[in-house]
Amino acid sequence: MEQDQALHSRRSITLKFDIPISKTHEFWDALRQSRFVTTKCKKCGQVTFPPQADCPRCMSNEFEWADVGPDATLVTYTYVQVTPASFAENDPYIIAIGEFAGGLKVLAWLEGIPHEKAKVGMKLKVEERTSKEGNPFYVFVPA
């Protein structure tokens, strides 16, 4: 049944997206200045991460930027050893979910610690990083 007869298609495509961030670019701008912020609804007070310009609770589009962190607590984590195709150049990484005071949670890499030392409940700080392409992003490090 399983004969390996395939027509190896001659056509390939590259998918690379230009993702609009105009409504929440301040998040990335603040990150470049070492500040981790997110959106807070002016009408109902809802704080949302990831940041979004339209409140998911009351649907108002009036919001302000609120400082988050930098202090968080590790809720759960994993050590990714088999990485996806586009991360083939990366060493294995730890992915963690950290919770800030007030209950807001963020998913990011946990750096600066061997994976055996990661522990649920440990204290973390969120820090900015810049990719080699120049894009800002953020990671957790042990506090």
Partner 1 sequence: MDRVAVVGIGHSKFGRRTDVNVAELAFESIKKAVDDAGVNKKDIQNVIIGSAGGWYEESLPAVIVNEYAGLDGVGTMRVEAACASGSAAVKTAYNSILSGEAKIAMAVGIEKMTEVDTLTSIELIGRAGSYMWEFENFGMTFPAYYALYAVAHMNKFGTTEEDMSRVAVKAHHYGAMNPLAQFQKEITLEKAMGSQVVSWPLKLYDACPLTDGSASVILASEEVAKGLTDTPIWIKGVGYSSDSANLSRRSDFVGLQASVDAAKRAYAMAKVTPDMVDVATCHDCFTIAELMAYEDLGFCKKGEGAKMIREGQTELGGRIPVNLDGGLKAKGHPIGATGVSMAVEITKQLRNEAGSHQAPIKNGVGLVHNVGGTGHYAYVTILSRN
Distance, CA of 46 to CA of 53 (rounded, Å): 12
> Is 5 or 33 the residue whose CB approaches partner 1 more closely?
5
Among 31, 41, 96, 126, binds Zn ion (CB under 5 A): 41
> Is 41 or 106 the residue whose CB approaches partner 1 more closely?
106
Farthest CA pair distance, the chain: 63
Match 């979004």 to its residue by tokens.
52
Distance, CA of 86 to CA of 78 (rounded, Å): 19
Q: What phi and psi, each to the nearest 5 degrees, are found at residue 33?
A: -105, 25
Told to check if 55 binds Zn ion by CB under 5 A, we report: yes
Among 95, 112, 125, 141, binds partner 1 (CB under 8 A): 95
Which option in partner 1, Zn ion, none does residue 46 bind, with CB closer than 5 to 8 A by kind?
Zn ion
Name the nearest CA neighbour of 91 among 72, 114, 69, 75. Answer: 114
Told to check if 33 binds partner 1 by CB under 8 A, we report: no
Told to check if 97 binds partner 1 by CB under 8 A, we report: yes
Name the nearest CA neighbour of 74 among 117, 17, 23, 13. Answer: 117
**How many angstroms separate the Cα of 40 from the Cα of each of 12, 15, 43?**
43, 33, 9
Determine the interface stretch with partner 1 among 34-42, 61-69, 99-107 (rule: CB under 8 A): 99-107
Binding site for partner 1 (CB under 8 A): 1-6, 9, 19, 49-50, 75-88, 90, 93, 95, 97, 105-109, 115, 120, 131, 135, 137-138
Chain residues that interact with Zn ion, rule: CB under 5 A = 41, 43-44, 46, 55, 57-58, 60
